[in-house]
Chain A
């Protein structure tokens, strides 16, 4: 600590702070902001290197993400376990650390010794009270970092933490949306005598864990799946993807929809403990004249036979996936006459705050009539969504058995 700071020193210090807190930085996108911030931090502190490592919470490691004067850290994907080495210690202790002697004992990363770094100073990146990474600067010459240097570096770290959080949220959103797109088949399999139409709408700008799937089976049967993983964003979308492929695999192994869901439940409870999902799996016989449906906590489909009002299919309620072992799984077998329309949907379609679900189900029953699948899809979305923003994501899959004599 400088005891008698001269006026010139104070002015220098103020200018340094301004360089780091400069409002112009906000006009850069988050990625450029991080790079520019590292350059400015390096210049202000007259350091040779500056680097940001971000915490990967699944592995408990810090991963080099951005650097100035130390680009090889990022290019080589340097990883440091929390609690070990210089950066690991900062993350574990959540406080600034200064190292006067960089050697094998104090620093894990060989790039730092190879670069001839003699002195290191680092601070934690903290967002919402949690460590999300580490920012450090290094000097090739021996020098003493002051408490004012630490304060400046912490200022830069706080700025970086904001940018990083925003980058991560954006990255998660993009990844989840890409995942959803890749997993939801836009081109549905052609099934003789069947007509299909689908909708997927993400809730409030973020995707969730809803999905639908349609596939033909070696037996000549047609499999239709609708489901939803509780939660939203990337974590829900990732679990959804795993459930979707597991269900497809079990569907090849056994023709009994209850057995498929029983195996899916067992797999989920073992490999994704804590995850909860609802699924309805329907298997149509090769002639499409009968369907076997098993539901794990999922709303039953709405069925409209030609010329008759729609009704909620009589499917036994089954425990949702991931809740408890050994749940009973029962199958309903329903006749499907030519021209019949079946609407499969997720809870986001009918659930709204401030309105009982029977009201939503009533709206849906009135909207579903035996008509072409794409027309029915549009009618249902108009009746239940209209122009209101929805909080939850919505998936709808419309199946129609074509009337005899049509193609």
Chain B
């Protein structure tokens, strides 16, 4: 059985939340709680470390979105590290809300070089663009 809970550690001013190998409806509730409490710790930035995560379904995505909303409301910066689940996170558009890095070091440095994905400024070429604006990430729901 993989670790069900997420572990919070500190690297300098940043809180790093290590996520379990698999996230679905079974453990998403606990993970949501873990993420929300990490957001409340007053860190400069909260890094959700999914480098060890190989499976994340829609329940896990919802937990990340809830954490994003809470972070945005508190003015806390959120960053993601993902490799195996990068595809899922990109597909559901999380990359538009939270920058996704390929490794923890890059996420801690917060550098844009070598990023797997960045919040994309609005209006990419070759498509109909509706809504959005020059600033991204988009403001939180209910802001």
A residues with a Cβ closer than 8 A to B are: 228, 230-232, 256, 258-259, 262, 269, 273, 276, 278, 296-297, 299, 316-320, 322-332, 347, 351, 353-358, 391-392
* 0/1 string, B3-21, CB within 8 A of A gives 1: 0000000000000000000
Q: How far is the CB of A368 from chain B (nearest CB, A)?
A: 18
Which parts of B105-143 form the interface with A (CB within 8 Å)?
120, 122-124, 127-133, 137-143
CA distance A69 to B90 in the complex (A): 61
Interfacial chain B residues near A325, Cβ < 8 Å: 138-141, 143
CA distance A271 to B67 in the complex (A): 21
How many A-B Cβ pairs are below 8 Å? 123
Known contacts A318-B93, A324-B137, A324-B141; is-contact A329 B58 (Cβ 8 Å): no
Interfacial chain B residues near A331, Cβ < 8 Å: 127-128
Q: How far is the CB of B61 from chain A (nearest CB, A)?
A: 7
29 inter-chain pairs at a CB distance below 8 angstroms, sorted by A residue, are: A230-B58, A230-B62, A256-B128, A258-B128, A258-B129, A273-B142, A276-B65, A297-B92, A299-B91, A317-B91, A317-B92, A317-B95, A319-B97, A323-B68, A323-B93, A323-B97, A323-B141, A324-B69, A324-B96, A325-B139, A326-B132, A327-B96, A327-B132, A328-B124, A351-B55, A353-B55, A354-B54, A354-B55, A391-B24
The answer, among B55, B57, B92, B133, for a CB contact under 8 Å with A320, is B92
Q: How far is the CB of A247 from chain B (nearest CB, A)?
A: 15
Q: Is B76 an interface residue (CB 8 A)?
A: no
Q: Is the CB of B24 within 8 A of A328?
A: no
Q: Is the CB of A329 within 8 A of B131?
A: yes
Q: Is the CB of A324 within 8 A of B138?
A: yes
CA distance A392 to B59 in the complex (A): 11
Q: Is B43 an interface residue (CB 8 A)?
A: no
Interfacial chain A residues near B65, Cβ < 8 Å: 276, 320, 322-323
CA distance A325 to B141 in the complex (A): 5
Interfacial chain A residues near B124, Cβ < 8 Å: 316, 328, 330
Q: Is B44 an interface residue (CB 8 A)?
A: no
Q: Is the CB of A328 within 8 A of B61?
A: no
Query: Which of B25, B137, B143 has the most chain A CB atoms closer than 10 A to its own CB?
Result: B25
CA distance A278 to B91 in the complex (A): 10
The answer, among B88, B128, B133, for a CB contact under 8 Å with A326, is B133
Interfacial chain A residues near B139, Cβ < 8 Å: 324-326
The answer, among B72, B93, B137, B141, for a CB contact under 8 Å with A269, is B141
Q: Is the CB of B130 within 8 A of A258?
A: yes
CA distance A273 to B138 in the complex (A): 16
CA distance A331 to B42 in the complex (A): 39
CA distance A299 to B92 in the complex (A): 8
Interfacial chain A residues near B143, Cβ < 8 Å: 325
Q: Is the CB of B138 within 8 A of A326?
A: yes
Q: Is the CB of A356 within 8 A of B141?
A: no
Query: Which of A258, A320, A354 has the most chain B CB atoms closer than 10 A to its own CB?
Result: A320
Q: Which residue of B lies closest to A294 (CB)?
A: B128
DSSP majority for the B interface? loop
The answer, among B92, B130, B138, B141, for a CB contact under 8 Å with A256, is B130
B residues with a Cβ closer than 8 A to A are: 22, 24-25, 54-55, 57-59, 61-62, 65, 68-69, 72, 84, 87-88, 90-97, 120, 122-124, 127-133, 137-143
Query: Which of B61, B90, B139 has the most chain A CB atoms closer than 10 A to its own CB?
Result: B61
CA distance A39 to B78 in the complex (A): 58
Q: Is the CB of A322 within 8 A of B87?
A: no
Interfacial chain A residues near B128, Cβ < 8 Å: 256, 258, 329-331
Query: Which of A320, A325, A326, A332 has the most chain B CB atoms closer than 10 A to its own CB?
Result: A326
Q: How far is the CB of A346 from chain B (nearest CB, A)?
A: 9
Q: How far is the CB of B64 from chain A (nearest CB, A)?
A: 9
Interfacial chain B residues near A354, Cβ < 8 Å: 22, 54-55
CA distance A93 to B25 in the complex (A): 33
Q: Is the CB of B58 within 8 A of A347?
A: yes
Known contacts A297-B91, A319-B138; is-contact A278 B58 (Cβ 8 Å): yes
Q: Is the CB of B55 within 8 A of A355?
A: yes
Q: Is the CB of A353 within 8 A of B140?
A: no
Interfacial chain A residues near B94, Cβ < 8 Å: 319, 323
CA distance A258 to B132 in the complex (A): 12
Q: Is the CB of B133 within 8 A of A296?
A: no
Interfacial chain B residues near A256, Cβ < 8 Å: 128, 130
Q: Is the CB of A357 within 8 A of B132?
A: no
Q: Which residue of B lies closest to A277 (CB)?
A: B58
Q: Is the CB of A326 within 8 A of B93?
A: no
Q: Is the CB of A324 within 8 A of B131?
A: no
CA distance A356 to B95 in the complex (A): 19
| Given A323-B93, A324-B68, 6 new contacts (CB under 8 A) | A231-B59, A258-B128, A269-B142, A278-B58, A320-B61, A324-B72
The answer, among B25, B57, B92, B123, for a CB contact under 8 Å with A328, is B123
Interfacial chain A residues near B96, Cβ < 8 Å: 319, 324, 327-328
Q: Is the CB of B123 within 8 A of A356?
A: no
